[in-house]
Structure 1
Amino acid sequence: MISQDRIQGHWDEVKGQLRSRWGQLTDDDLQRAKGSAEHLVGVIQAKTGEARHEIEHFLHDVLGGRVSRAGQQYSAAMQQFADEASDYARRNYRRVASRSGDYATRLAESVRERPAESLAVAFGLGIAAGAIFLFRGRR
């Protein structure tokens, strides 16, 4: 629920927004409810028949949902950055995917052409990796 202090601190704005949303609210209705957030919700609910959670959501949007001009500019800049990053990643993914396919094809051809050398290289890399893990595990 929105705090009473926030409603009172922005009463003129809140009152204008409430009258704009629910035109059947009179100044007397709003004046009666000015002292309490709970009372305000009750008055609006009784006068309009609107659900309590809808009224509370509306008040939250009026008081808490406001975004400053700087916040809007920051949000727009972040959206633009995200769009550019997404485009960059998409372009480079295609490039890397096509190159990795080329490398895989070349590697397969190399293994077919020189199976003994390929096996020796794989064995040597396995020994080296095992030695590294063995020495790191002892520390």
Structure 2
Amino acid sequence: MANREQIRGHWNEVKGRLKEHWAQLTDDDLRRAEGSTDRLVGVVQQKTGATRNEVEKFIDSLFGASMGDQAAQKVQQYSDAAQQMASDAGQYARDQAKRFAAQSGDLSATVNETVRKRPGESLAIAFGLGIAAGAILFMGRKK
């Protein structure tokens, strides 16, 4: 059974949960029992008809999984979920980097092969692109 200090330390929570569970309890009933575990059990028994064992089990259940324990469990769940998301994001980034490296390697090989097979055309295209880039830069300076 929960001790006097536990009940006193969480009196508002205990009072609220008792009233939720046994709606016929009033604030006056609970005020009469405040400060004594035995008196609390007696008042709940008298008002609700519940057995002493039922009342004690209910009060003990309030302290079995305290709010601190529940909060710690939630924090652990969120931590685990965040860790899994970070791991998934890291794996996705690694996969995309490999894909990009493979594509850029393929493109580089294609450009090399084209320049080797058609050196004159490649030189003409590079020259044309150089003139176009120079013209764009020159026009940008005029403004």
TM-score, length of structure 2 as denominator length: 0.49
Q: Distance in 1 between matches of 2:75 and 2:12?
A: 27
Instruction: Specify the SS of the correspondent of 2:28.
Output: helix
User: Structure 2: which amino acid aligns with 1:23?
Assistant: A
Instruction: Specify the SS of the correspondent of 2:24.
Output: coil
Q: Which runs of 5+ in 1 are unaligned?
A: 79-139
Q: 1:77 to 1:56 in 2, by over 3 A?
A: farther
Q: Distance in 2 between matches of 1:77 and 1:41?
A: 40
Kindly indicate whether residue 29 of structure 2 is the aligned counterpart of residue 26 of structure 1: no
When structure 1 is superposed on structure 2, of 32-41 and 63-72 the one drifting more is: 63-72
Q: Distance in 2 between matches of 1:12 and 1:26?
A: 13
Q: 1:69 to 1:51 in 2, by over 3 A?
A: same
| Structure 1 match to 2:71 | 69
Q: Distance in 1 between matches of 2:79 and 2:60?
A: 26
Alignment length (residue pairs): 78
Q: 1:52 to 1:76 in 2, by over 3 A?
A: farther
- State the Cα RMSD in Å: 2.1
TM-score, length of structure 1 as denominator length: 0.50
| Structure 2 match to 1:94 | none
